[in-house]
């Protein structure tokens, strides 16, 4: 089950400005009864009064239409997800659902998308997963026409983990213009993108808070900005992309602290829709070989680019940079975002558990691990505790953005690598770290 959360850091939504349907009406003022020949004051009509009445009616009507749109999307997503795919892998009603999602993205109506996903998260897990896939793809990939040619543009991310002394400095990141230009051209030189594509990198290294704050429609708008800038010589501004660079939060690292941080490179690739470089073979074995070849090119690129990337981040390379890099896989925006966040949170979890063991003076082999999923107040969290003969040894709580089952198995594998004695699943973990209704961890 996937979870779509409303991004933090975004401006208030339209829904936040609408009157709540459950808000009680103020009591009506009594009308003074006068002679029949007198015209009651409540009948006095002014232009301002008519305008207020019209606006109130429009707001109520809009609220009804918004709720209807959410219910239509929920019903359609459930029906499409329940249908069997045809020979082309398409499902009955999928075209209509994709068209509805595209229109909603263009209208910047994130409220409809998040509310539909929230309803499906509780009512129809399969429908939720399918709708989320459609929404993410609709934001990440856009097909537009220029003249007689159809072009596709997509937003991609390259997450990277950076270990430094004292933490990264925003003022230094990508400050070397020549190094940044070389970084951009390396993507095509290494075969990560087609030689016939037009590829750009945003001249900003994104903090996870900046990436996580972007809503579906904001990513779609950034794609449109990039498309316009790459196809229209008159375009001078890219407002959606400019808004996405909110700036890094203040660092809590001291000058001598060893810091492990997650950052993202954001880019856009414009290509012909029929570019053979991106054609995935239909046969399964050939498709596997295609993706393995791409992964191998990425591994080679990440090794070769490390000195240049160190220079991009710190202004120096090699030992002088005091900067260790680990590149995660290049992917479309939302896939890479989830991969980067999940990897970083796993490392955070292991760090917290190891610190707890060290503070308790215990070895991992003396501990058992207990996992539980908490779905409180609309946010899914993965809780992990290590317990020994003396009780609670260590604890970690991490949010889950993607598939819960995948997150559980990945976390269990990571914790098992510490050498814990046993791994268990619990229905819940109480505030004192005591697992409730524990059972054996399911097999993958």
Q: Where are the alpha helices (H) located in 232-283, listed in sequence order?
A: 239-244
Place of tokens 């929404």: 135
Angle at 77 between CA 75 and CA 80, to 5 degrees: 105
The secondary structure of residue 7, as a DSSP letter, is P
* Consecutive H or E run containing 225: helix 216-231
Q: d(Cα 428, Cα 433) in Å, to the nearest integer?
A: 9
Integer-rounded Cα Rg, in Å, for the chain is 26
- Residue where one domain finishes, among candidates 310, 329, 348: 329
Contacts of 370 (CB under 8 A, 6+ apart): 384, 385, 386, 387, 424, 425, 426, 429, 435, 438
Asked whether residue 188 falls in the same domain as residue 221, the answer is: yes
Contact 355, 386 (CB under 8 A): no
pLDDT digits (tens, 9 = 90+) for 92-140: 999 999 999 999 999 999 999 999 999 998 899 999 999 999 999 999 9
SS3 per residue for 24-37: CCCCCCCCCCCCCC
Q: Which residue has the tokens 């991490």?
A: 398
The verdict on residue 26 lying in a domain is no
**22 is a domain residue:** no
Domain boundary among 86, 120, 138: 138
Task: Name which of 177, 353, 337, 154 is nearest 262 in CA terms.
Answer: 337
133 with 172, same domain: the answer is no
Does one domain contain both 151 and 172?
Answer: yes
pLDDT computed for residue 63 by the predictor? 57
Whether the predicted model's global pTM rises above the 0.75 cut: yes
* Model confidence band, residue 58 (pLDDT cutoffs 50, 70, 90): low
pLDDT class of 5 with cuts at 50, 70, 90:
low
> What is the helix (H) or strand (E) element at residue 385, kind and residue range?
strand 379-388
Q: Which carries the bigger pLDDT value, residue 287 or residue 443?
A: 287
Cβ-in-10-Å burial (0-12, 13-18, 19+) of 260 comes to middle
pLDDT score at 3? 55
In which domain, by residue range, is 181 found?
147-329
Virtual torsion, Cα 164, 165, 170, 176, nearest 10 deg: -70
The pLDDT of residue 19: 37
**Do 232 and 309 share a domain, yes or no?**
yes
My answer on whether 227 and 112 are in the same domain is: no
CA distances from 194 to 187, 228, 249, 270, 332 (A): 9, 20, 35, 10, 15
Q: What six digits make up the tokens of 14?
A: 């339209």
Residue 156 and residue 281 share a domain: yes
Residue pair 193/267 in contact by the 8 Å Cβ criterion: no
Residue 367 shares a structural domain with residue 325: no
Residue 295: CB atoms within 10 A of its CB come to 12
Q: Do 50 and 197 sit in the same domain of this protein? A: no
pLDDT at 23: 39
Tell me whether residue 4 is in a domain. no
> What's the rounded mean pLDDT across residues 47-61?
50
Same domain? 170 vs 119: no
Q: How many domains does the chain have?
A: 3
Q: How many other C-beta atoms are found inside a 10 Å radius of the C-beta of residue 4?
A: 20
Q: Which long-range contacts (CB under 8 A, 24 or more apart) does 275-281 make?
A: 275/194, 275/196, 275/197, 277/193, 277/194, 277/195, 277/196, 277/197, 278/194
Q: Characterise 149 by phi-psi region: left (phi > 0), alpha (psi -120 to 50), beta (else).
A: beta
- For residue 163, is pLDDT > 90? yes
> Are residues 309 and 427 both part of a single domain?
no
Q: Is residue 351 included in any domain, yes or no?
A: yes
Residue carrying the six token digits 């009616």: 57
pLDDT tier at 62, thresholds 50, 70, 90: low
Q: Clarify whether residues 98 and 158 are in a common domain.
A: no
User: Rounded to the nearest 5 degrees, what angle is found at the Cα of 312, between the Cα atoms of 350 and 232?
Assistant: 115
* Confidence grade of residue 8 (pLDDT, cut at 50, 70, 90): low
- Residue 375 phi/psi, 5-degree rounding, is -120, 70
> Per residue in 63-75, pLDDT tens?
578 899 999 999 9
Residue 139 vs residues 105, 135, 147, 169, 201: alpha-carbon distances, Å: 7, 6, 23, 30, 18
- The answer to whether residue 180 is domain-embedded is yes
DSSP for residue 289: H
Q: Mark which of 295, 329, 363 sits at the end of a domain.
A: 329
Share of the chain above pLDDT 70, in %: 85
Q: What is the predicted pLDDT for the residue at 122?
A: 87
Both 309 and 355 in a single domain? no
- Whether 257 maps to a domain, the answer reads yes
In a domain, 14, yes or no: no
Residue 34 lies in a domain: no
Q: Rounded to the nearest 5°, which phi and psi values hold at 159?
A: -80, 145
Q: Are 152 and 216 in contact (CB under 8 A)?
A: no
CA distance 253 to 257: 6
Question: Which of 2-16, 259-273, 284-298, 344-358 comes out lowest in average pLDDT?
Answer: 2-16
């Amino acid at each position: 089950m996937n979870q779509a959360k409303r991004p933090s850091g975004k401006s208030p939504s339209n829904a936040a400005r609408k009157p709540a349907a459950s808000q009680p009406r103020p009591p009506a003022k009594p009308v003074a009864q006068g002679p029949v020949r007198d015209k009651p004051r409540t009948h006095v009509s002014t232009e301002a009064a008519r305008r207020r009445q019209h606006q109130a009616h429009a707001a109520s009507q809009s609220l009804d239409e918004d709720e209807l749109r959410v219910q239509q999307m929920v019903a359609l997503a459930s029906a499409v997800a329940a249908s069997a795919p045809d020979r082309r892998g398409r499902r009955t009603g999928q075209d209509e659902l994709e068209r509805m999602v595209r229109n909603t993205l263009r209208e910047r109506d994130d409220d409809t998308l998040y509310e539909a996903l929230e309803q499906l998260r509780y009512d129809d897990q399969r429908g939720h997963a399918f709708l989320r896939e459609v929404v993410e793809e609709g934001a990440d990939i856009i097909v537009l026409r220029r003249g007689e040619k159809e072009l596709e543009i997509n937003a991609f991310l390259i997450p990277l983990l950076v270990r430094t002394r004292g933490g990264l400095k925003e003022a230094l990141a990508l400050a070397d213009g020549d190094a940044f230009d070389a970084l951009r051209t390396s993507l095509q030189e290494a075969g990560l993108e087609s030689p016939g594509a037009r590829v750009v990198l945003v001249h900003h290294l994104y903090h996870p808070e900046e990436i996580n704050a972007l809503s579906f429609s904001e990513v779609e708008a950034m794609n449109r900005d990039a498309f316009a800038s790459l196809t229209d010589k008159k375009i001078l501004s890219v407002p959606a992309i400019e808004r996405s660079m909110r700036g890094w939060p203040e660092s809590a690292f001291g000058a001598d602290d060893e810091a492990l941080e997650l950052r993202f490179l954001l880019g856009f690739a414009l290509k012909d829709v029929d570019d053979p470089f991106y054609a995935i073979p239909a046969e399964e074995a050939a498709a596997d070989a295609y993706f393995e070849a791409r992964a191998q090119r990425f591994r080679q690129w990440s090794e070769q680019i490390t000195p240049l990337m160190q220079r991009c981040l710190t202004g120096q390379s090699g030992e002088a940079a005091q900067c260790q890099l680990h590149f995660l896989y290049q992917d479309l925006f939302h896939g890479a975002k989830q991969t980067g966040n999940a990897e970083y949170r796993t490392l955070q979890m292991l760090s917290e558990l190891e610190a707890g063991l060290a503070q308790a003076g215990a070895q991992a082999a003396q501990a058992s691990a207990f996992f539980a999923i908490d779905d409180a107040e609309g946010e899914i969290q993965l809780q992990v505790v290590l317990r020994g003969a003396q009780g609670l040894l260590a604890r970690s709580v991490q949010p889950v953005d993607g598939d819960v089952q995948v997150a559980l198995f990945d976390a269990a594998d990571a914790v098992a690598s510490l050498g814990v004695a046993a791994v268990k699943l619990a229905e819940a973990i109480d505030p004192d770290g005591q697992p409730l209704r524990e059972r054996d961890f399911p097999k993958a």
